[in-house]
C-alpha cells in the first residue's frame, strides 16, 4: 500500500532523539503562532497527514458531485414549505431563511466531514458544515510550520510535497460573494463572533491574512454593533461585509431577531456570509433529506448514485415506515432493536454535543435517547466504520507511535469547488476538537520522487 509506505518512511526518519527535538521545536512555536484552541494546543502529534494526488482527486471529484445534490436540496426546500418541513427549522429560521436569497450563493465557504479510506475508495460523509466552517487558518499556518521541521525536510528527499493553502481561496470567495450581492469596490470586513470563543486565535490568523492583502478588517462582537444611517457600524468602523463566524442560533438566542445584524441584512445594507439561508443545509436533517427514498425524485441519476455511495443511511427520528437497504422497516422499533448499528444526533448542535453512539451505550440509555428524539429534532444515522492511522507523539518524554481515529473534511468554496482539507485526530470515537478530545494536523499531497 503506497500510502502506508510513505507513512513508514516518515516514521523511520523520526528516531527518538529527532522526535524529542521536533516536539520541542513544534510546541515552542504553537502559542506564538496562535495555534491554540482556547487554552489547548491544536496539534499534539509529530506527523502531518498525507494523500497521494490521485487519492485526493478522487475525494475532490466525488465531493463535488455530491455538492450538486445539496444545491438541489437547498433550492427545492427554499421553494417548497412541505419539503422544508423535513429540515425541522426553528421559527426564527423559517422567518429569516429568505432574507438574503437571490444574490450570492448562501455559502462562500462550507465543509463536508467524512471518513475516507483511500486505497479502498471508501468515502462516507457524516455531516455538512454549511454555516460557519472553521479550521482554514489553523491548517494553513500548521502546514507552514511543519514544512520547517527537520523530519519534513528529510522526508522531502524521498517525496515531493504539495500543501493546499486556503485563506487566499477564502478571501477570493468573500470578494466574489460581495460583488454578486451588488457590492462595489473593496469592502471593509468584520469577522463577527463572540469575544470569548476558543476559536478567537483562528479569527486573528485570518484577520492578519486579510490585512496583509490590503483589506481593512476588524474582529467584532455582535453585541458591539450598531445599525444607523443606513450602515452597520462597530464603533467608527463601517462594515460592508460580515464574515460570520457566530452561529445564527446563538445570535438570535442572545440578541433577538431584531438585532442590528438582522436589520442591516434585511435592508441590504451589509453583505453577510454565510447567509441565514445556509441554515437550511446546516441541519443534520440535510443528510436525512438526501438519504430518504421519498426525496430521490429530486436528484439526477448520477447524484442518486453518489448519495447511495457516500451518504450513510440517515433518517429523521419519527414514527414512520421507511426502507433500510431495500428492506421495509418500522423506523423506531427497528432502530431500538439494532442500536449497535446506529448513532443519534441532535438536528442543530455542534461540537459533538448530544451525540449518542448506540454501540457504546446500554439499551435503556438508547431507548431513552430515542424517546427524547421524538420531541426534540434528531436524526438517526448508520454507523460508519472509523479510520485508524498511526501517528507519532512524545508522551512522558518518549516517542510513542500509536493509532488514532482520523477523518477527512474537505473545504468547499462557493458551493461547488473543493480545495484543502481539515484533518482531525482523536483517541476516542467522537472526532471533534470542540468536544475536547481532538487534534488537528496539516494535510499534504504526495508524489514519490523518481
Is 297 part of any domain? no
- Residue where a domain terminates, one of 382, 399, 425: 382
pLDDT, one tens digit per residue, over 255-286 is: 999 999 999 999 999 999 999 999 999 999 99
Are 220 and 362 within one domain? no
Cα separation, 184 vs 378, whole angstroms: 42
Is 72 part of any domain? yes
- Residue 434 has a pLDDT of 44
Q: Are strands 241-244 and 49-52 parallel, antiparallel or unpaired?
A: unpaired
Q: Which domain holds residue 318?
A: 313-382
Cα separation, 321 vs 336, whole angstroms: 14
Number of neighbouring beta carbons within 10 Å of residue 320: 13
Chain position carrying cell 494546543? 41
Is 230 part of any domain? yes
Residue 102 has pLDDT above 80, yes or no: no
Residue 82 has pLDDT above 90, yes or no: yes
Residue 205 has pLDDT above 70, yes or no: yes
Contacts of 97 (CB under 8 A, 6+ apart): 78, 89, 276, 277, 279, 280
Are 138 and 179 within one domain? yes
User: Binning pLDDT at 50, 70 and 90, where does residue 321 land?
Assistant: very high
Is 412 part of any domain? yes
pLDDT, one tens digit per residue, over 284-301 is: 999 999 999 999 999 999
Cα separation, 264 vs 181, whole angstroms: 14
> For residue 122, what are the β-bridge partners?
117
Residue 159 has pLDDT above 60, yes or no: yes
Domain with residue 325: its CATH number is 3.30.1490
Of all residues in the chain, what percent carry a pLDDT higher than 90?
A: 92
- Residue 254 has a pLDDT of 96
Are 156 and 20 within one domain? yes
Q: Are strands 217-220 and 189-192 parallel, antiparallel or unpaired?
A: parallel
Are 335 and 273 within one domain? no
Counted domains in the chain = 2
Is 44 part of any domain? yes
Cα separation, 358 vs 367, whole angstroms: 10
Are 259 and 324 within one domain? no
Are 277 and 423 within one domain? yes
User: Binning pLDDT at 50, 70 and 90, where does residue 433 land?
Assistant: very low
pLDDT, one tens digit per residue, over 410-431 is: 999 999 999 999 999 998 655 4
Is 322 part of any domain? yes
Cα separation, 386 vs 124, whole angstroms: 10
Are 415 and 341 within one domain? no
pLDDT, one tens digit per residue, over 6-62 is: 999 999 999 999 999 999 999 999 999 999 998 899 999 999 999 999 999 999 999
The pair phi, psi for residue 90, each rounded to 5°, is -75, 165
- Residue 435 has a pLDDT of 41
Are 270 and 358 within one domain? no
Whole-prediction pTM value? 0.93
User: Binning pLDDT at 50, 70 and 90, where does residue 354 land?
Assistant: confident
Are 259 and 347 within one domain? no
Are 217 and 349 within one domain? no
User: Binning pLDDT at 50, 70 and 90, where does residue 351 land?
Assistant: low
Is 288 part of any domain? no
Q: Mean pLDDT across the chain, nearest whole number?
A: 94
Are 357 and 406 within one domain? no
In the Cβ-directed half-sphere of 212, how many Cα atoms lie within 13 Å?
Answer: 9
- Residue where a domain terminates, one of 382, 416, 439: 382
Cα separation, 96 vs 84, whole angstroms: 13
Contacts of 236 (CB under 8 A, 6+ apart): none
Is 298 part of any domain? no
Are 203 and 90 within one domain? yes
- Residue where a domain terminates, one of 330, 354, 382: 382
CA distances 262 to 97, 132, 203, Å, are 11, 17, 22
- Residue 436 has a pLDDT of 41
Q: Which of 88-97, 106-115, 345-354, 374-383 has the lowest mean pLDDT?
A: 345-354
Amino acid at each position: 500500500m503506497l500510502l502506508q509506505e510513505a507513512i513508514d518512511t516518515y516514521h523511520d526518519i523520526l528516531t527518538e532523539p529527532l522526535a524529542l527535538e521536533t516536539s520541542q521545536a513544534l510546541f515552542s512555536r504553537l502559542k506564538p503562532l496562535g495555534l491554540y484552541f482556547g487554552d489547548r494546543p491544536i496539534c499534539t502529534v509529530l506527523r502531518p497527514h498525507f494523500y497521494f494526488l490521485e487519492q485526493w482527486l478522487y475525494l475532490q471529484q466525488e465531493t463535488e458531485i455530491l455538492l450538486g445534490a445539496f444545491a438541489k436540496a437547498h433550492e427545492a426546500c427554499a421553494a417548497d414549505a412541505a419539503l422544508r418541513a423535513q429540515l425541522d427549522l426553528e421559527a426564527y429560521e423559517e422567518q429569516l431563511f429568505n432574507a438574503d436569497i437571490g444574490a450570492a450563493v448562501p455559502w462562500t465557504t462550507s465543509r463536508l466531514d467524512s471518513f475516507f479510506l483511500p486505497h479502498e475508495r471508501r468515502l462516507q460523509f457524516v455531516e455538512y458544515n454549511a454555516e460557519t466552517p472553521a479550521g482554514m487558518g489553523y491548517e494553513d499556518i500548521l502546514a507552514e510550520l511543519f514544512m520547517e521541521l527537520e523530519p519534513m525536510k528529510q522526508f522531502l528527499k524521498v517525496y515531493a510535497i504539495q500543501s493546499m493553502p486556503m485563506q487566499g481561496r477564502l478571501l477570493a470567495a468573500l470578494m466574489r460573494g460581495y460583488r454578486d450581492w451588488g457590492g462595489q469596490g473593496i469592502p471593509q470586513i468584520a469577522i463577527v463572533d463572540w469575544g470569548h470563543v476558543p476559536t478567537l486565535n483562528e479569527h486573528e490568523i485570518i484577520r492578519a491574512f486579510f490585512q496583509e492583502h490590503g483589506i481593512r478588517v476588524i474582529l467584532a462582537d455582535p453585541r458591539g454593533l450598531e445599525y444607523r444611517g443606513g450602515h452597520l457600524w462597530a464603533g467608527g468602523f463601517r462594515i460592508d461585509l460580515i464574515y460570520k463566524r457566530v452561529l445564527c442560533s446563538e445570535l438570535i438566542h442572545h440578541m433577538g431577531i431584531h438585532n442590528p445584524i438582522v436589520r442591516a441584512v434585511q435592508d441590504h445594507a451589509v453583505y453577510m456570509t454565510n447567509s441565514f439561508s445556509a441554515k437550511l443545509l446546516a441541519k443534520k436533517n440535510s443528510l436525512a433529506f438526501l438519504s430518504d427514498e421519498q426525496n430521490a425524485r429530486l436528484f439526477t441519476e448520477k447524484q442518486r448514485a453518489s448519495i447511495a455511495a457516500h451518504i450513510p443511511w440517515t433518517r429523521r427520528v419519527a414514527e414512520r415506515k421507511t426502507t433500510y437497504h431495500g428492506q421495509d422497516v418500522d423506523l423506531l422499533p427497528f432502530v431500538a432493536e439494532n442500536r449497535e448499528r446506529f448513532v443519534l444526533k441532535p438536528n442543530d448542535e455542534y461540537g459533538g454535543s448530544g451525540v449518542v453512539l448506540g454501540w457504546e451505550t446500554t439499551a435503556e440509555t438508547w431507548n431513552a435517547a430515542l424517546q427524547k428524539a421524538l420531541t426534540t429534532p434528531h436524526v438517526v444515522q448508520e454507523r460508519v466504520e472509523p479510520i485508524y492511522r498511526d501517528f507519532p507523539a512524545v508522551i512522558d518524554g518518549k516517542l510513542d507511535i500509536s493509532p488514532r481515529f482520523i477523518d477527512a473534511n474537505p473545504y468547499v468554496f462557493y458551493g461547488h469547488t473543493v480545495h484543502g482539507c481539515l484533518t482531525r485526530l482523536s483517541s476516542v470515537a467522537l472526532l471533534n476538537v470542540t468536544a475536547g478530545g481532538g487534534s488537528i494536523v496539516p494535510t499534504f499531497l504526495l508524489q514519490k520522487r523518481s
